[in-house]
Amino acid sequence: MAQMMYRDAVLSTIAEEMARDPNVVVLGEDVVGGMGTPGGPEAIGGIWSTSTGLFGQFGADRVIDTPISESAIVGAAAGLALAGKRPVAELMFADFIGVSLDQIWNQMGKFRYMFGGKTKCPAVIRMAYGAGYNAAAQHSQSVHQILTGMPGLKVVIPSTPADVKGLLRTAIRDDDPVMFLEHKALYGMSGEVPDDPDFMIPFGHARLSRAGEDVTIVSSGLLLGFCEAVADKLAAEGIGCDVIDLRTTSPLDEETILDSVEVTGRLLVVDEAPPRCGLAVDLCALVAAKAFASLKAPPQAVTPPHTPIPFARELESAYLPSTDKIEAAVRALLAWR
Amino acid sequence: MQLSREALTRAYRQMKVIREFEERLHIEIQTGEIAGFTHLYCGQEAVAVGVCEHLSVDDKIVSTHRGHGHCLAKGCDVNGMMAEIWGSREGLCKGKGGSMHIADVDLGMLGANGIVGAGSPIGVGAALAAKLDGKGNVAITFSGDGACNQGTTFEAMNMAVVTKAPCIFLFENNHYSEHTGFEYAVGTQQDIASRAEAFGMKVWRGDGTDFFSVYETMREVLEYVRSGAGPAAVEFDTERFFGHFEGDPQRYRGPGELDRIRETRDCLKIFRASVTAAGLLSHADIDALDADVMAEIENAVTLARAADRPTADDVLTDVYISY
Ligand SMILES: Cc1ncc(C[n+]2csc(CCOP(=O)(O)OP(=O)(O)O)c2C)c(N)n1
Ligand SMILES: [Mg+2]
Q: How far apart (Å, rounded) are the C-alpha atoms in residues A181 and A147?
A: 10
Task: Tell me, yes or no, whether A186 and A220 share the same domain.
Answer: no
A315-329 tens-digit pLDDT: 999 999 999 999 999
Q: Give residues 71 to 90 of B whose Cβ lies within 8 Å of A.
A: 87-89
Q: What is the pLDDT of residue B2?
A: 83
**Closest Cβ opposite residue A136 in set B97, B178, B321:** B97
Amino acid at site B44: Q
- What's the confidence (pLDDT) of residue B320? 83
Q: Annotated active-site positions of A, please?
A: 139
CB–CB of B87 and A99 under 8 A?
Answer: no
Report pLDDT digits (tens) over A94-152.
999 999 999 999 999 999 999 999 999 999 999 999 999 999 999 999 999 999 999 99
Residue extents of the structural domains in chain B: 5-305
Determine the residue of chain A that is closest to B95 in CA distance. Answer: A312
Nearest residue of B to residue A305, measured between CA atoms: B323
Residue A46: band (very low, low, confident or very high) from pLDDT cuts 50, 70, 90: confident
Q: Verify that A148 and A18 share a domain, yes or no.
A: yes
Judged by CB atoms closer than 8 Å, whether chains meet at B179 and A44 is answered as yes
Mean pLDDT of A215-220: 98
Rounded to an integer, what is the distance from CA B297 to the centroid of its chain? 18
* A104 domain residue, yes or no: yes
Nearest CA to CA, how far is A320 from chain B (Å)?
A: 10
Fold classification of B5-305 (topology level): Rossmann fold (3.40.50)
Q: Say if CB A315 and CB B315 are below 8 A apart.
A: yes
CB-CB: which of A67, A139, A311 is closest to B96?
A311
Among residues A169, A193, A217, which one ends one of the domains? A193
Whether residue B276 is predicted with pLDDT greater than 60 in this model: the reply is yes
Backbone angles phi, psi at B24, to 5 degrees: -70, -40
Cβ-contact B143, B117 below 8 angstroms: yes
Q: How high is the pLDDT of residue B322?
A: 67
Nearest ligand (C-alpha, residue B144): 1
End-of-domain residue from the set A136, A165, A193? A193
Same domain, A180 and A50: yes
Q: Is residue A55 included in any domain, yes or no? A: yes
Q: Is the model's pLDDT at A50 over the cut of 70? A: yes
Number of structural domains found in chain A: 2
Cα–Cα distance between B45 and B18 in angstroms, integer?
7
| Strand ranges in A6-142 using DSSP code E only, listed in sequence order | 24-29, 63-66, 86-91, 124-129
Of the listed ligands, the closest to the CA of A67 is 1
The whole-angstrom separation of Cα A299 and Cα A165 is 32
Instruction: Report if residue A200 sits inside a domain.
Output: no
- Whether residues A140 and A188 fall in one domain: yes
pLDDT at B323: 67
State the CATH number of the domain containing residue A224: 3.40.50.920
Do β-strands A178-183 and A124-129 pair in parallel, antiparallel, or remain unpaired? parallel
Mean residue pLDDT of chain B comes to 97
For B70-106, the pLDDT digits (tens) are: 999 999 999 999 999 999 999 999 999 999 999 999 9
Could you tell me if A118 and A19 lie in one domain? Answer: yes
Indicate whether A148 and A70 sit together in one domain.
yes
A159 has pLDDT over 70: yes
Domain contains A176: yes
Contact with chain B for residue A101, Cβ under 8 A: no
Nearest residue (by CA) to ligand 1, atom 8, is B116
Cα atoms in the 13 Å half-sphere on the side-chain side of A117: 0
Quick one: which atom of ligand 1 is closest to the CA of B117? 1
Which of B:183-212 have CB within 8 Å of A? 183-187
Integer CA distances (angstroms), A219 to A133, A170, A294, in order: 20, 21, 21
Domain range spanning residue A251?
A: 207-335
Q: Based on the fold, state whether residues A104 and A216 are members of the same structural domain.
A: no
Evaluate whether residue A113 is within a structural domain. Answer: yes
Q: Is A116 part of any domain? A: yes
First to last CA, chain B: 58
CA distance A141 to A131: 6
pLDDT at position B188: 87
Same domain, A277 and A141: no
Residue B321's pLDDT band, with cuts at 50, 70 and 90, is: confident
Average pLDDT of span A277-300: 98
- A226, A266, A269, B246 from A233: Cα distances, Å: 11, 18, 18, 38
In a domain, A290, yes or no: yes
- B 121-180 → A contacts, CB under 8 A: 146-147, 149-152, 176-180
Has residue B1 got a pLDDT over 60?
no
| Residue A146: inside a domain | yes
Which chain B residues have a beta carbon less than 8 Å from that of A33? 179-180, 252
Q: What would the pLDDT profile of A2-19 be if each residue is shown by its tens digit?
A: 999 999 999 999 999 999
CA-based end-to-end distance of chain A:
47
What per-residue confidence (pLDDT) applies to B190? 84
Quick one: A181 and A226 in the same domain? no
Residues A213, A176 share a domain: no
Is A146 found in the same domain as A33? Answer: yes
Residue A312 CA to residue B94 CA, distance in Å, equals 9
If asked whether residues A306 and A167 sit together in one domain, one would say no
Q: What is the mean pLDDT of chain A?
A: 97
Ranges A94-108, A140-154, A173-187, B181-195: which has the least confidence = B181-195
- The DSSP bridge pattern shows strands A154-156 and A248-250 to be antiparallel
